[in-house]
């Protein structure tokens, strides 16, 4: 138990950070996973209480080193978020039902990885912290999605729809919430990009060419400081990256964990009680919405 505590304590703050719902979280999943895979300083240190254990143990104490335990955790996380190709020889040893389950799980993990590489690439804090092949994959997927969306017609520009109050709240988020991720990437931090990046004028280009030009300019930008408010960063650069900004707004709103949904279900349980079980779906939805967003409503003086 003490070995588990020693190995998993550094992960506690990371999990807490990734469980937030008022700042961008999904973009940090892959960079954090790669850092965990690389290991932490002191992982291979001997366990301080190893000499107190009996010599006739039925297990190897080295299996409980922080490095060994974190290796096990990373293996499970990679299977879910960054899967290796299936081994057909090992798969052939399973019965048909288990083979089908393994293929479904692998496909689901691949889809999750596709989503996460786009999230990380569109976050200028982390786009340099993912693998080179993941970066290329993100650019390819974003381009394919943009080309597919051209035929859907213009969409309403919600550029000014963001609430200033929400932006202010995010920029003043409790620093403790981000301290774990900031410390993880402190050694790899680069100088922040200041100012708004100018966009080249290309009136005669096709939409695909304009998007490719935006993507190339963004890809060449240096990463920004961990303290930067990414949503405001993209909002300030709408004129420079009008098409890519819409993609960023879509992907960076994704939460890294189910914790926000669990909070919403908790709010729903407080609204729909035994004494209020006859609420219509519409009224229940409205009350849950108001309960979840009451912190944004200014109270009358």
Q: Concatenated DSSP letters for the chain? A: -HHHHHHHHHHHHHHHHHT-SSS--GGGHHHHHHHHHH--TTTTSPPTTGGGS-TT-SS-GGGGSHHHHHHHHHHHHHHHHSPPPP-HHHHHTS-HHHHHHHHHHHHHHHHHHHHHHHHHHTSTTTTTSS-HHHHHHHHHHHHHHHHHHHTT------GGGS-HHHHHHHHT--THHHHHHHHHTGGG--PPP-SPPPPPP-TTS-HHHHHHHHHHHHHTSPP--TTS-HHHHHHHTTTT-HHHHHHHHHHTT--SSSHHHHHHHHHHHHHS-GGGTT--HHHHHHHHHHHHHGGGSPPP-
Mean pLDDT of 90-100: 89
Task: Give the DSSP per-residue string, 172-214.
Answer: T--THHHHHHHHHTGGG--PPP-SPPPPPP-TTS-HHHHHHHH
Q: Give the pLDDT of residue 61.
A: 57
Q: Distance between CA 205 and CA 140 in Å, rounded?
A: 19
184: tokens are 């993880």
Rounded to the nearest 10 degrees, what angle do helices 29-38 and 96-121 cross at? 110
Out of 4-13, 182-191, 197-206, give the one with best mean pLDDT.
4-13
Mean pLDDT of 83-94: 86
The number of C-alpha atoms within 13 Å of 153 and in the hemisphere containing its C-beta is 1
The larger pLDDT score, comparing residue 262 to residue 61, is at 262
What is the distance, to the nearest Å, from the Cα of residue 299 to the centroid of all Cα atoms in its chain?
A: 33
pTM strictly above 0.95: no
Q: Give the pLDDT of residue 35.
A: 86
Q: Give the pLDDT of residue 175.
A: 47
Q: Give the pLDDT of residue 5.
A: 76
Out of 78-82, 106-110, 170-174, 269-273, give the one with best mean pLDDT.
106-110
Q: Give the pLDDT of residue 150.
A: 84
pLDDT tens-digit series, residues 259-289: 777 777 777 887 888 777 788 888 888 888 8
Reported as a pLDDT band with limits 50, 70 and 90, residue 46 is: low
Which range (10-19, 28-37, 213-222) has the least confidence? Answer: 10-19
């Amino acid at each position: 138990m003490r070995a588990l505590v020693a190995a998993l304590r550094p992960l506690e703050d990371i999990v807490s950070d990734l469980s937030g719902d008022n700042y961008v979280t999904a973009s940090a999943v892959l960079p954090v996973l790669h850092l965990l895979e690389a290991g932490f300083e002191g992982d291979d240190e001997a366990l301080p209480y190893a000499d107190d254990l009996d010599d006739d143990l039925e297990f190897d104490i080295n299996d409980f080193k922080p490095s060994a335990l974190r290796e096990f955790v990373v293996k499970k996380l990679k299977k879910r978020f960054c899967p290796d190709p299936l081994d057909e020889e090992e798969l052939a040893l399973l019965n048909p039902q288990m083979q089908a389950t393994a293929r479904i799980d692998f496909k689901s993990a691949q889809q999750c990885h596709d989503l996460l590489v786009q999230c990380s690439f569109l976050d200028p804090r982390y786009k340099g912290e993912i693998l080179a092949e993941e970066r290329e994959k993100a650019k390819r997927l974003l381009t394919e999605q943009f080309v597919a969306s051209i035929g859907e017609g213009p969409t309403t520009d919600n550029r000014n729809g963001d609430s200033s109050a929400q932006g202010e709240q995010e920029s003043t988020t409790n620093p403790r919430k981000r301290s774990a991720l900031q410390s993880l990437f402190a050694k790899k931090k680069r100088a922040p990009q200041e100012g708004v990046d100018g966009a080249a004028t290309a009136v005669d280009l096709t939409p695909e060419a304009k998007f490719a030009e935006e993507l190339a300019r963004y890809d060449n930008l240096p990463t920004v400081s961990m303290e930067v408010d990414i949503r405001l960063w993209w909002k300030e650069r709408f004129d420079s990256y009008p098409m890519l900004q819409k993609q960023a707004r879509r992907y960076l709103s994704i939460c890294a964990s189910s914790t926000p949904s669990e909070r919403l279900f908790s709010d729903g349980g407080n609204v729909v009680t035994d004494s209020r079980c006859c609420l219509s779906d519409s009224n229940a939805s409205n009350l849950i919405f108001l309960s979840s967003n009451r912190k944004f409503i200014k109270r009358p003086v």
